[in-house]
Each structure stands twice: as structure tokens, then as C-alpha cells.
């Protein structure tokens, strides 16, 4: 057995299974590796975008974009992805709108599928852009469903200059998302996004369903109508995964 390959896989497994942020020193100590060996393996994985450094102060490690892209072909048959995709297809057919699906990858939203609606004029999204959890409807839908002990960490990871001034504002937004059952945002020019999370059996969000359409076509009443439909679709998909809640967002939620 090749020791370098084995150690790289063990390092990835340790990072993936850890419930807390992991540093290079944590990996080195957990696997009992010499500092030079651990540094060589981890820096190679970072250079290849298999891993990324998420916090420069503490050099915390998380999955890089390339690791997700490689994994995407494997998780394509995953039950949750399949169930969410089926819900997205049905939602696009029912509403006529474009539906995008994204995967919650640790601390970011990664788009993985786009389903065109049947309406004659559709938004032109040749590539699905990535936005932070704070910026996008999908991100806010995920944040509002996240456990309290994870919420502040996720907000900190997705903060940008000026976000400290929005502290109370983001909590008010998440409370509104939880109350309505879906999130609305305008992160794309002239477009409106409406999103809801698909939950695993334990209530943890992993996928988001998102309707995207031109803002001029979505007045307040239409936003509510589509929001209710996407909430029903996401809840139905969640129940197929074993989720037992009556709503996507269980009451009460204390955002502060």
C-alpha cells in the first residue's frame, strides 16, 4: 500500500468527519505524522484545490472546489440528490419557471443542476453563479434551517467588510424566512430568487431548491404563490428522506 496515498485519504477522511474546524496541526496530531510529511501532503491537496484554507488566521481546512467536482459524479446517484432533482423537475413543470438546485458544501452553496421552465422567456444563465450564504436566497434558506450552534459560525465564515453593521438585520431576515417557509433575494440583476431547503432525516439542510425569474413578473402576490409551492416541494422531498417535521422551519427559532 502506498503510504502517501493512504495518508492523504486518511487526512481527507479526518477533515470530512470532524464536527469542528480543523487545522493542519489537528490533522498532523490526529494521524501521528511528522510535520514535514503532513505539510507536504496537505499543501499538495491545497495546490490541487482538493482542500482549501478557509480561515487565514488559523489555517482551517475544508473541501476545495475540485474535490466537490470530482465527488459530484459519485453523489449523482445519492438518494437526496436524486429526490431533490425529481422535486425540481416537477416544480419547473408545475410553475413554468426555471429551477436551480444547489448543494450545501460545509460553508458554501455550490450550484449543481439547472432545470429550464416551459415559459417562452427564461432567464439566461449559461453558468450558475456562486454567492455567499448571506447574499443568496438559497444561502438564507439554508442558514435559517441550520442548527443554532452552527449558525453563528456559518455567518462568520461568510462575512464580508460591512457585514458587522448588518448583524441584527441578517437575524431579522432569517426570522422572516423561518416564518414564511422560504427565502427571497435579488442577488442577480433584474432577477428574483425564491428558495427553500431540502432536509435530511435529522433536519439538517443539505440541498436547496430555488426558482429564478425576472423581477418584473414577480409581484408580492406571485412571490407568495411561488414561495408556497417551493416550500411544499422542498417539504415533500424532505419527507421522502425521512424528515418528520410538519414544516421546514420548526418553531420556535431564536435568531440572535
All domains of the chain, ordered by start, with CATH?
A: 3-68 (1.10.10.10), 76-240 (3.30.450.40)
pLDDT tens-digit profile of 74-128? 655 467 888 898 999 999 999 999 999 988 876 677 788 888 877 778 887 766 6
Query: Which pLDDT value is given to residue 180?
Result: 93
pLDDT of residue 194: 96
- pLDDT of the residue at 171: 84
254: number of Cβ within 10 Å = 7
144, 154 contact by CB (below 8 A): no
CA distance 210 to 192: 10
Whole-structure pTM value: 0.66
State the pLDDT at residue 254. Answer: 62
Answer whether residue 173 shows pLDDT above 70: yes
What is the model's pLDDT at position 136? 87
pLDDT at 155 over 90: no
In this predicted model, which residue has the larger pLDDT, 256 or 16? 16
Q: C-alpha grid cell for residue 60? A: 482551517
- For position 104, what pLDDT does the model report? 82
Q: Which helix (H) or strand (E) holds 101?
A: strand 98-104
Q: What contacts 189, CB < 8 A, 6 or more positions away?
A: none
Amino acid at each position: 500500500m502506498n503510504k502517501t496515498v493512504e495518508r492523504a485519504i486518511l487526512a481527507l477522511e479526518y477533515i470530512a468527519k470532524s464536527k469542528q474546524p480543523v487545522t493542519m496541526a489537528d490533522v498532523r496530531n490526529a494521524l501521528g505524522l511528522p510535520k514535514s510529511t503532513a505539510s507536504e501532503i496537505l499543501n499538495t491537496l491545497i495546490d490541487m484545490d482538493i482542500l482549501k484554507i478557509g480561515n487565514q488566521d488559523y489555517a482551517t481546512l475544508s473541501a476545495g472546489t475540485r474535490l466537490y467536482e470530482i465527488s459530484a459524479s459519485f453523489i449523482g446517484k445519492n438518494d437526496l440528490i436524486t429526490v431533490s432533482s425529481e422535486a425540481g423537475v416537477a416544480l419547473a413543470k408545475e410553475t413554468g419557471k426555471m429551477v436551480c438546485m444547489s448543494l450545501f458544501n460545509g460553508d458554501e452553496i455550490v450550484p449543481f443542476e439547472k432545470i429550464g421552465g416551459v415559459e417562452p422567456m427564461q432567464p439566461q444563465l449559461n453558468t450558475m453563479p456562486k454567492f455567499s450564504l448571506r447574499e443568496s436566497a438559497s444561502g438564507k434558506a439554508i442558514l435559517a434551517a441550520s442548527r443554532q450552534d452552527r449558525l453563528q459560525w456559518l455567518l462568520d465564515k461568510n462575512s464580508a467588510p460591512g457585514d458587522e453593521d448588518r448583524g441584527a438585520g441578517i437575524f431579522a431576515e432569517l426570522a422572516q424566512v423561518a416564518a414564511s417557509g422560504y427565502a427571497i433575494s435579488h442577488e442577480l440583476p433584474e432577477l428574483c430568487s425564491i428558495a427553500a431547503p431540502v432536509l435530511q432525516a435529522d433536519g439538517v439542510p443539505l440541498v436547496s431548491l430555488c426558482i429564478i425569474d425576472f423581477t418584473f413578473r414577480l409581484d408580492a402576490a406571485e412571490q407568495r404563490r411561488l414561495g408556497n409551492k417551493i416550500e411544499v416541494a422542498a417539504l415533500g422531498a424532505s419527507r421522502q428522506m425521512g424528515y418528520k417535521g410538519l414544516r421546514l422551519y420548526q418553531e420556535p427559532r431564536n435568531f440572535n
